[in-house]
Structure 1
């Protein structure tokens, strides 16, 4: 049985790709995913139809059986109605269980698990392709919640419509036909009931949907806030302000609870009204059926079928109401998640984008302008050429635009004016993947993935051998502390996991892992943004020596507030208010007595090592 079910589970590829990005608009969003598995949706509808018709047939057989028993002698009952009884048995013993089995396999094995995984996979692929700014403007926990919850909510809402609303619709239609066949008067209460229920749906559904969406948004905000606190737990602990966090979290929890209660109040109202309408249906149908039986217009069996069908129908409508709570909650979750998942990419490759080739490594900034969409530019008309193999240092006060400039080189944002070229190729016309593959980056705020040390070092070159990983770690002065690491699951050394964002390591250890990662990547262009800021002096001296070898033959752009770390660069670029204020060597800029000389004096000479002092005196 298990082997057979496993074969059903592989009928839909959970990693299949849809045509294009998920669209905005609730119906379009549903249609985008439904059309990928539409044969299985139709199969589930057909199975639901078969189950409903089998259920109606059983009620019909019960009425037929009552009439046959009333009109037949017990002695020859079986012989007189043998084939009728066999047909009833076939439906009850074979066809109904078979239809239920098909519906169950479709609902449990084939459709929901694979469709949920496919929605999550496609949503993740779309979200991960968003620009860097997309993630800066939202809680990471909130984004994760929407990607993870939208899939099961969409799938469940589809199956709920089929399992509940579709089945009730088929059942009500079948009852209508049976009632009309018995006596046309019997359809009057049922028709009125359908009309009242439809009117309730038209009135209440938009209200329930709006409140479900508000509840989903409140839940998403709460998830994001909780994830934000847990992700910054060190700051929360160090500042010792539990009362402040409690108040903020209490407001988030209260808002989510109030939104949920607001939704449930409406659903409770609908449930009470439906219960009253169902009671009226049962009473009027029963009274009418008895009246028609008394006048000879209906047989006892037909009366039993009518009462049985309306009882079943009202039970099912109650089931629909209990399902509606979950259904509208799921619809709200899907609509809320869609607003994040279906957002168009703000930064995309051109249709004709080619892979970047870097034979030399020249970097050219031409009239580059950028301001994060604000009125005041952060980078204001930068013109700069970095020659192949040249090592330049970017210097300036905080906010001068140094990090923004290298972010533009990496195309984390699109320019608002000008262009950037690498070996003559405009970076806006090459693929983002190939551009970033050609640039090695070490930033000041190093975050590692919660994976093994080996996986983190090899992230820029996944096919690297263990020997190459270890060699890079040794060059980054990281090997000695790595071999002594272990985690809670007993993994040691290079197999040890580092925790979320590398929290199990010190800042200096994370920085050395990041440097090892860039050493292993060995890209032709190197960006160092305060690469050694988290290191102590002894380790920094070792790393600086290794970075000197790494920089050999590469184009290097280094940012540092501690000027001693970049004073020996081939050329220094001094930035101020988004513009280039000065350019030259360390000695030339000191002799000029401008902004660089002022920054240098404030650092009391910058603690230059002897070889840099000697070079500055040349």
Structure 2
């Protein structure tokens, strides 16, 4: 594109200002709080058209006007043939001048103005802003979904469904209001014009419409079913591919590129089967449609000629009828593919609803309030939980943690330690009992305010694919650079951050860390996570194997800073390496979801119970691991 054209599009011309005005008519980021979308197709589409209705109605009205104008133009062309036959060149303008001028105004002024308005509304107001509104609302709803939702879905699959569904809703609504309205008005007008010449001339058009509707009735349900299957297969295919890319280190570590080929190919084969089925139906419908069109042309021409021979219609009226058949022939192909696209989009919307229109498993109550400042007193009041299964993971868990007390949770893998922490963070709601902070039931407060009061550092730290600065200040976005750098230094991270350079030449705190932080070592990711928790400075701190990814020298350097971070905070720490938490104020030993022992390190060793056995059986300082259900705990 030339600089002149670019300048015009970027706003240095009257045309660009007009376009910009239409572009600003529909807010792409509606501020209303996201709510669960309904499951019905019409209700789902209606849910996401709120706020866009005036422009959708305006588009439909202009489409109606375009169809009426085109029908009027075809009718006039037939009249023009008759006028030319009935008048001399000198008498034509004298007798029919105003009619000719009126049609010229219609063709040269009115129709372009209507088309311009329709195009501005569709292209500037709707096609960009409308799906963005849907994406924005869907994303805001999904990002607040419960943790279990994302455990059951590929991240890539969820993202694909969001993108597919937003575009499919747009196409469904616009096609129904724009194309559907235009076709309905146009075909009705064609029937009226044909009947105005002679009612018998309308019969081939009416027969064609009925046969064409029957063809669509056969085609549409089958296309809808295969389109829904195709959308699901496409999402599965994309999800598998993204899963391979996300875990590329594991793929290469086990030399399983060929296995991943097969994993992806299975999904591709399933998708391709739906494509082949769609194309077979398309061939049948296209051939049937062409046969109907050829039959329409022949019957209208034959009937028109016969009616002319008996002087029932004029030459101009035959010209109009034949012109309509040629127009409908081209239009029918367009309608067929538009209808196919429409029901493909309907299938995509229905598939998306199955994954998107799900309630939050963990939701704030309507009357939930902010937690507010806390001292850090925690009470687990006879808590029970089983992840929806039959075997309890946490059973009758009863524990009181005083403000500022430092607790170590200990037990074999599968004992329920991480589940207890997940319940405190309210990633899941307890099934029995309750959890309180400063006497307030956490189920009665907003999740955001609850988690704002808790800092977390985990072993498997996941960083955002953003700059180091963005990852550290994620714990407190309003923090200044001085505070961020101070936190990084306390976490022994400042030195390695200064050496970072990414592929775009960004350095230090501006360097990006890659997806999930893959450009950093495990120890570097851990130190960034510790800096993030230090900057957040929450009154309650959870450490889940916080130093497990660090070498001994770095761990020793950070441990002193962690001790300072823990000062004045209520701390719950989980570690398989018992030496890292032996100095806690109190150790709580869990087995099969229950508390079996409590006390200091010396008291538990002297008691000679489970803790003493674990301490003496450790090899290299770690508890022997048993099988444990997958438990999720993300760094805050």
Same fold (TM over 0.5): yes
User: C-alpha separation between the residues in 2 aligned to 1:547 and 1:18?
Assistant: 38
SS in 1 for 2:459: coil
- Where does residue 602 of structure 2 map in the other structure? 587
- Where does residue 24 of structure 1 map in the other structure? 39
User: C-alpha separation between the residues in 2 aligned to 1:53 and 1:269?
Assistant: 32
Shift of 1:344: 1.3
Identify which range, 24-33 or 379-388, moves more after superposition.
Answer: 24-33
Distance 1:604 1:75, change over 3 A: closer
SS in 1 for 2:128: helix
- Where does residue 23 of structure 2 map in the other structure? 9
Distance 1:14 1:60, change over 3 A: same
- Where does residue 384 of structure 2 map in the other structure? 369
- Where does residue 139 of structure 1 map in the other structure? 154
- Where does residue 10 of structure 2 map in the other structure? none
User: C-alpha separation between the residues in 2 aligned to 1:34 and 1:288?
Assistant: 46
User: C-alpha separation between the residues in 2 aligned to 1:19 and 1:41?
Assistant: 22
Shift of 1:222: 0.3
User: C-alpha separation between the residues in 2 aligned to 1:510 and 1:596?
Assistant: 31
Instruction: Give the alignment of 1:388-537 within 5 angstroms.
Output: 388-537=403-552
User: C-alpha separation between the residues in 1 aligned to 2:360 and 2:214?
Assistant: 41
Are 1:269 and 2:284 an aligned pair? yes
Instruction: Give the alignment of 1:566-585 within 5 angstroms.
Output: 566-585=581-600
Are 1:161 and 2:164 an aligned pair? no
Gap runs ≥5 in structure 2: 1-14, 623-636
Deviations for 1:228-264, whole angstroms, at most 9, x for unmatched residues? 0000000011100222111121111111011111122
Instruction: Give the alignment of 1:67-466 within 5 angstroms.
Output: 67-466=82-481
TM-score by length of 1: 0.96
Shift of 1:19: 7.7
User: C-alpha separation between the residues in 2 aligned to 1:76 and 1:327?
Assistant: 51
Shift of 1:326: 2.3
Deviations for 1:87-127, whole angstroms, at most 9, x for unmatched residues? 11001101111111111111100012111001001111111
Shift of 1:267: 2.4
Deviations for 1:413-458, whole angstroms, at most 9, x for unmatched residues? 0111000000000001111000000000001110000111111000
SS in 1 for 2:571: strand
- Where does residue 610 of structure 1 map in the other structure? none
- Checking the alignment, whether the CA contact within 8 Å between 1:171 and 1:313 is kept in structure 2 is no
- Checking the alignment, whether the CA contact within 8 Å between 2:36 and 2:358 is kept in structure 1 is no
- Checking the alignment, whether the CA contact within 8 Å between 1:120 and 1:147 is kept in structure 2 is yes
Identify which range, 26-35 or 424-433, moves more after superposition.
Answer: 26-35
Are 1:53 and 2:59 an aligned pair? no
Deviations for 1:118-154, whole angstroms, at most 9, x for unmatched residues? 1001111111111100000110100000111211121
- Checking the alignment, whether the CA contact within 8 Å between 1:289 and 1:298 is kept in structure 2 is yes
- Where does residue 628 of structure 2 map in the other structure? none
User: C-alpha separation between the residues in 1 aligned to 2:414 and 2:49?
Assistant: 49
Shift of 1:199: 2.0
User: C-alpha separation between the residues in 1 aligned to 2:174 and 2:294?
Assistant: 28
- Checking the alignment, whether the CA contact within 8 Å between 2:469 and 2:510 is kept in structure 1 is yes
Shift of 1:300: 0.7
SS in 2 for 1:293: helix
Q: How large is the Cα RMSD of the aligned pairs?
A: 1.3
Deviations for 1:493-551, whole angstroms, at most 9, x for unmatched residues? 11111111111100000000000000000000000000000001111011110010010
SS in 1 for 2:513: coil
Shift of 1:203: 2.7
- Checking the alignment, whether the CA contact within 8 Å between 1:358 and 1:423 is kept in structure 2 is no
Shift of 1:219: 0.3
User: C-alpha separation between the residues in 1 aligned to 2:177 and 2:115?
Assistant: 13
Shift of 1:588: 0.8
SS in 2 for 1:389: coil
Q: 1:62 aligns with which of 70, 77, 85?
A: 77
Deviations for 1:289-316, whole angstroms, at most 9, x for unmatched residues? 1111111111111110011012101211
Distance 1:184 1:604, change over 3 A: closer
User: C-alpha separation between the residues in 2 aligned to 1:268 and 1:478?
Assistant: 63
Shift of 1:604: 5.7
User: C-alpha separation between the residues in 2 aligned to 1:418 and 1:528?
Assistant: 24
Gap runs ≥5 in structure 1: 608-618
Total equivalences in the alignment: 607
Shift of 1:606: 4.1
User: C-alpha separation between the residues in 2 aligned to 1:469 and 1:317?
Assistant: 64
